[in-house]
Structure 1
Amino acid sequence: MDRIPLLPILFATTFGLLFSACTQQPTVSEQNVSRIMETLSSDQMKGRHAFGSGIELAADFISAEFENIGLSTLPGKDNFRQEFSIYTLKPKNASIIINNREVGGQYYFGLTNAETVSWTPNNTNVNYISAQDDYRKKFGEYSSDDESSVIVVDGEHEKLFHKYRTYFSRSNRTFELNSEPNDIFVIFDEKVNSYDITLENTVKSQGLSNIIGKIEGKRENEIVLFSAHYDHIGVVSAVDEDSIANGANDNASGVSAVIELARYFQNMPKPERTLYFVGFTAEEVGGYGSKYFSQQMDPNDIVAMFNIEMIGKPDVDGANSAWITGFDKSTFGEILQNSVSDSNFVFYPDPYPNQNLFYRSDNATLAKLGVPAHTISTTPIDVDQDYHRVSDEFNTLDITHATNTIRAIAKAARVIISAEQTPTRILNGEDNLTSNK
């Protein structure tokens, strides 16, 4: 028998393995998805409240994952944290005198960003919400404009006014202390001729962090954004001696998707477009993480936003499907549908339009600026028994379903990342977001 030289065999085998490794497509590991979800939803994280102690452990964990994957930090940063402060202002003392009459505490509330507000007719406007006005609409207009003002509310709106007062009298939060505008809403039954208003707040500062990693693409200023909020509601009233709302589905599941998508695309050739992977903080307390992020970005640079929320349970339509909020507002959903048409996975429009979910997650701030920013979810929220409860535990999740969903998002995103497809912008984004509240 002829002897076959060993060296060529070893060379050929090694070459074959290398060639196979180079040509093999990366995949999303069910084991990794499970590990990430279980870690983030552990009792050690204490429910990841944005203003609680467990949020720091979560931020460190996500940063370590980004580091291990090999993501880049933002320019000028030596870590993955995008740090900012939130100031919480709580009413302390107030004196509201209008037309020489003192207004009782139950008939006013303020939306103020200053430690002290002191107003006379010389330095502030007066606006009115009449009996014929739509209170909600007018409240939205006055509270979102750029002017400080006293807003006088007709007594016909008293019932709704008190609901708003109960909510807004607790506290207000702002990125910038002593900034404008400031607004004070008052029920008063006369035209205002004079007023003397002083309102004092106690102020508390809290440091927060978004976690951001990136993969530099060939087109630096064309960004595809993958995001999920990593905070939850923390420690709540105990149920059967359990007081930690672990937030396994909401939203450890979404964060696992962002991390695994980062790992997936890091193992691909350099993308055409630049990829951002973001864990937003403080979604549950007002969306402050995504709001701050949007203020640091040029929205024209963001081609698309894949915001991922609550993918740990299959929807009523089956395990191989996910729904997309705001489906009709851009071609984002249509692109995703077509990109997986050769698989058994289906993307379809949000089945809960009456709940205005498009406006209630971290995609909303960038959508308001015209970005094709949509949330992808799978949970049947109309029947889910664990939402915002201590029962949102790791053992309630379907890891295989979540992994398949992440794989479908990875597959669908390729045509956008490669610049083969570009979703249309959201026209009149601000009007869409304010008119539907």
Structure 2
Amino acid sequence: MKKLSLYLLFALLITGQASAQKINKIINKKYVDNLIKTLSSDDMQGRATYSLGIDKAASFIEGEFKKIGLQPLPGTTGYRQNFHKDSTDKRPLFNVVGTIPGKSKTKEMVIFSGHYDHLGILKADGQDSIANGADDDASGITAMIALAKYYKKLNNNERTLIFVAFTAEEIGGFGSQYFSKQLNPDDVVAMFNIEMIGKESKFGKNAAFITGYERSDFGKILQKNLSGSPFSFHPDPYPQQRLFYRSDNATLAALGVPAHTISTDQIDTDQLYHSVKDEYSSLDVDNILSTIKAIAQSAITIVQGTDTPTRIPKRK
């Protein structure tokens, strides 16, 4: 029995090493650095909702989806999911959505998301008036795109994967609200919403927190899949901030989906949050890279259909 256990341990170790090597080959620092630098550049003008800057950002994300080889949502001709905030507002809004169809459990969906809008132009601080939104949330969109590349290359997802860049989070979460109405929440197995992973968390290096950790076993599954790695996920250390219902996971979570946000932001002391100083130069790209790789590794059993997180009680 001991010999069998040693063989099993060795096999798991070899599998884990092979997986890590594959992640390192597909998701590298140069690739991640280019994504975050482009999305947070002055050329995007702060990516305010309804602006030319957000249209540029959407076009960039569409281009990355096309290079990766993602498919549009069924029933659409492109990656943009067009809608209006309400019946009285005719200005266009658009989420950017791509998919990798599942091999055997096509109806079951796993969502990876972030929001690509930010605040645009603010009152100048010195010569700078562009709120670049590098951490909030170009970092999350960078992770979402990199994960799309990884899972497309891996080509072993039994469940359908949806990758979405939400718009209008900063003005009320309208992108995720619209998106949630276009699908059956009972078909969504899990949602990995990624927001603000650009700096080291209060838990130190190789660590992130999960909002609503106690509401499902989502976090426990992720941590199990990271066994033997230096990275760890923690419960949200800022419960007083009510972060669980302050991001794009909130709408689907309220409908019972194990939809959680992964972050590393020290929100209680973050002096750059919603300021013109949230720009590329303030980021720790190594922190972004390690968090992306941890999500890629920890989500694998959910992607492959062998783990299913428990549902969150519906919000009344």
Q: TM-score, normalised by structure 1?
A: 0.66
Distance in 2 separating the partners of 1:341 and 1:378: 20
289, 298, 305: which is aligned to 1:412? 298
SS at match of 2:306: coil
Aligned equivalent of 1:183: none
163, 187, 190: which is aligned to 1:304? 190
Matches within 5 A, 1:363-374: 363-374=249-260
SS at match of 2:149: helix
192, 209, 212: which is aligned to 2:97? 212
Aligned equivalent of 2:78: 79
Distance in 2 separating the partners of 1:300 and 1:350: 25
Aligned equivalent of 2:50: 51
Q: CA deviation at 1:212?
A: 0.4
1:260 corresponds to 2:160: no
Identity of paired residues, percent?
54
Q: Structure 2 unaligned segments of length 5 or more: list them.
A: 1-17
16, 20, 25: which is aligned to 2:22? 25
Q: CA deviation at 1:205?
A: 2.1
1:359 corresponds to 2:262: no
Q: CA deviation at 1:51?
A: 2.1
**Whose helix fraction is larger, Structure 1's or Structure 2's?**
2
Q: Which residue identity does 1:368 align to in structure 2?
A: A
Q: CA deviation at 1:269?
A: 2.4
Distance in 2 separating the partners of 1:26 and 1:341: 16
Q: CA deviation at 1:78?
A: 2.1
Distance in 1 separating the partners of 2:207 and 2:23: 22
Aligned equivalent of 2:6: none
Is the CA contact (8 Å cut-off) linking 2:250 and 2:259 kept in structure 1? yes
Aligned equivalent of 2:271: 385
1:343 corresponds to 2:229: yes
Matches within 5 A, 1:308-319: 308-319=194-205
1:425 corresponds to 2:272: no
Matches within 5 A, 1:107-146: none
Matches within 5 A, 1:148-159: none
SS at match of 2:299: helix
Range moving further from structure 2, 230-239 or 265-274: 265-274
Aligned equivalent of 1:138: none
Is the CA contact (8 Å cut-off) linking 1:321 and 1:346 kept in structure 2? yes
289, 292, 297: which is aligned to 1:403? 289
Q: Which residue identity does 1:260 align to in structure 2?
A: A
Q: Which residue identity does 2:87 align to in structure 1?
A: E
Q: CA deviation at 1:79?
A: 1.1
1:272-314 deviation per Cα after TM superposition (whole angstroms, max 9, x unaligned) = 1110000000000000000000011100110000000000001
Is the CA contact (8 Å cut-off) linking 1:26 and 1:268 kept in structure 2? no
Q: Which residue identity does 1:78 align to in structure 2?
A: T
Is the CA contact (8 Å cut-off) linking 1:319 and 1:401 kept in structure 2? yes
Aligned equivalent of 1:176: 87
1:23-42 deviation per Cα after TM superposition (whole angstroms, max 9, x unaligned) = x7243111111111111111
Of the two, which has the highest radius of gyration?
A: 1
Q: TM-score, normalised by structure 2?
A: 0.91
SS at match of 2:315: helix
Aligned equivalent of 1:34: 33
Is the CA contact (8 Å cut-off) linking 2:156 and 2:304 kept in structure 1? no
SS at match of 1:48: coil
Q: Which residue identity does 1:63 align to in structure 2?
A: E
Is the CA contact (8 Å cut-off) linking 2:80 and 2:96 kept in structure 1? yes
1:194-231 deviation per Cα after TM superposition (whole angstroms, max 9, x unaligned) = xxxxxxxxxx4210110000001121110010000000
Q: Which residue identity does 1:352 align to in structure 2?
A: Y
Q: Which residue identity does 1:256 align to in structure 2?
A: T
Is the CA contact (8 Å cut-off) linking 1:331 and 1:424 kept in structure 2? yes
**Whose strand fraction is larger, Structure 1's or Structure 2's?**
1
Q: CA RMSD, aligned part only?
A: 1.4
Extract structure 1 runs of 4+ deviating beyond 6 A.
none
Aligned equivalent of 1:275: 161
Is the CA contact (8 Å cut-off) linking 1:361 and 1:375 kept in structure 2? yes
1:374-419 deviation per Cα after TM superposition (whole angstroms, max 9, x unaligned) = 0000011111111000000101100111101000000000011111
97, 107, 125: which is aligned to 1:239? 125
